[in-house]
Amino acid sequence: MAVKIRLQRHGKKNFAFFHIVVADSRSPRDGRFIEQLGSYNPNTNPATIILNDERALAWLKVGAQPTLTARRILSYEGVLLRKHLQEGVAKGALTQAQADAKYAAWKAQKDEKVNAKISGIKNEKIEKARAAKAAEIKVNEARAEAIAKKKAEAEEAARKAAEEAAAAAAEAQAETPEA
């Protein structure tokens, strides 16, 4: 029986998330599985991966073959690196302590990179909000200037009309006594 580590699709149309499962290669994609190892949600930024590393490593050791996407996820989480280091320990190329130190250094670097991306996304959102607020303030000031200008023009027109009316009234009074 060929055993695969693969993704099982869940979720709604255009908004899928996946379970990472160990299944017989002959079973359908969303069908029967042997064990669920975790989940993968590509809809978040960065993608959310929850994985039982120990069980995934155990399945890899007994010969389960990951699909391309599952291999990428396992590599991203460091499971394939741990398998590689464990094979080195088994061959005597390095000790368990050295392997653990290499994995811990890799994991620390990986966590730092992920945290930098998350903080970058947060900072980008904050900058976008500031830029949007500044643009809104600029538009509001332009509107206020336009309204003030129209109001001043209307007052000027009303003042001129009042002056013309007063001048016409004065002229009419001036003409009436002569007659």
Q: Residues 97, 75, 33, CA angle at the centre, nearest 5°? A: 110
57 domain-assigned: yes
* CA 102 – CA 94 distance, rounded (Å): 11
Average pLDDT on 101-107 reads 94
DSSP, res 7: E
Beta strand 3-12 with 15-24 is antiparallel
Question: What domain count does the chain have?
Answer: 1
Answer whether residue 1 shows pLDDT above 70. no
- Amino acid at the residue 117: K
Strand (E) positions, the chain? 3-12, 15-24, 35-41, 48-51, 65-66
Q: What is the CATH number of the domain that holds 84?
A: 3.30.1320.10
Q: Are 71 and 80 in contact (CB under 8 A)?
A: yes
Q: Average the pLDDT over each of 29-33, 37-41, 70-74 and give the range with the smallest value.
A: 29-33
130 domain-assigned: no
25 domain-assigned: yes
* CA 82 – CA 101 distance, rounded (Å): 11
162 domain-assigned: no
112 domain-assigned: no
Answer whether residue 107 shows pLDDT above 70. yes
Q: In what order do the strands lie in the sheet with 3-12?
A: 48-51, 35-41, 15-24, 3-12, 65-66
Domain range for residue 76?
3-94
